[in-house]
């Protein structure tokens, strides 16, 4: 295990099934968020995303500094709700409301179960909706944790404009993504380092290769610069990176007051 990278969230449901989905000789279909994925999702995230706990902690610190009393925080593509529940634990000073949105009922069923187990129903709720049709006015913050990369590239800028429209003045968007470098040598090095990370977390060469094959036409990353340019084109004036580890990056964008 790589020191300092493990997920320390009390909501990660560590008894979740181990991710062995790609311990197979042949990939039959592109990656989809099926019920099989839901059953192993927490383990998949814990072992696949470097410094995930630190990104959530950093995001909570930004929520504390930029949000107002009683603001609403929306997590789009919230999956099983672990990160939203962790944010609700870390950002407790302003009576924030936390809302998770996902289009997968099995994901939300698991998220709601966790919310009940930790008695968070008064602070955290979940909606079954298409995030690309987001219509929640005066949001204080919108979070996209490794979600934008799954939206078709041609639709991303319009989607970000929709989020901008629904934020209150001074509201923020926090986006964490897998990214690419347009320098081929750096890009190759970053990918190799990431694969070494996954191997250190117990994935085999076969699993790494097969998952990459399944995601090839589904997860399409942009560069940090491309993501920032889209945010600026969408109306955000303050756009900055607040965390980066090789080919993983987190960005904050602030709507002008």
Structural domains in the chain, sorted by start: 52-180+219-254 (3.40.50.150)
With 70 as the cut, is the pLDDT of residue 90 above it?
yes
Structure tokens at 101: 């949105």
pTM value?
0.88
Helices and strands in the chain: count of H runs, count of E runs: 8, 7
Average confidence (pLDDT) over 209-214: 85
The arithmetic mean of pLDDT across residues 211-231, rounded, is 92
Stretch 98-113: mean pLDDT: 96
The total number of residues written for the chain in this structure? 257
Q: pLDDT band at 158, cuts 50/70/90?
A: very high
CA–CA separation, 160 and 123 (whole Å)? 26
Q: What distance in Å separates the CA atoms of residue 174 and residue 55, rounded to the nearest whole number?
A: 10
For the residues 175-194, what does the mean pLDDT come to?
A: 98
Nearest to 167 by CA among 51, 47, 252: 252
Assign 29 a pLDDT band (cuts: 50, 70, 90): low
Mean pLDDT rounded to a whole number for the chain: 89
Contact 131, 147 (CB under 8 A): yes
């Amino acid at each position: 295990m790589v020191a300092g990278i493990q997920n320390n969230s009390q909501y990660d449901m560590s008894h979740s099934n181990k991710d062995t989905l790609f311990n197979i000789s042949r990939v039959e279909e592109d990656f989809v968020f099926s019920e099989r994925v839901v059953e192993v999702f927490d383990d998949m995230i814990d072992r696949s995303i470097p410094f995930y706990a630190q990104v959530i902690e950093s995001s909570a610190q930004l929520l504390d500094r930029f949000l107002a009393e009683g603001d609403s925080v929306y997590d789009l593509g919230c999956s099983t709700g672990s990160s939203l529940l962790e944010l609700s634990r870390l950002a407790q000073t302003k009576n924030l409301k936390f809302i998770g949105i996902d289009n997968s009922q099995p994901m939300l069923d698991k998220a709601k179960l966790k919310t009940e187990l930790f008695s968070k129903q008064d602070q955290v709720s979940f909606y079954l909706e298409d995030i690309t049709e987001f219509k929640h006015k005066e949001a204080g913050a919108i979070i996209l944790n490794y979600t934008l990369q799954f939206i078709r590239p041609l639709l991303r800028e319009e989607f970000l404009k929709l989020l901008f429209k629904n934020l209150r003045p001074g509201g923020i968007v926090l986006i964490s993504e897998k990214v690419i470098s347009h320098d081929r040598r750096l890009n190759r090095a970053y990918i190799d380092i990431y694969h070494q990370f996954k191997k250190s977390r117990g994935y085999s060469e076969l699993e790494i290769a097969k998952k990459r094959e399944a995601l090839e036409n589904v997860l399409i990353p942009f560069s940090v610069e491309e993501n920032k340019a889209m945010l600026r084109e969408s109306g955000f004036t303050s756009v900055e990176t607040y965390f980066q580890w090789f080919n993983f990056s987190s960005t904050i964008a602030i709507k002008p007051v």
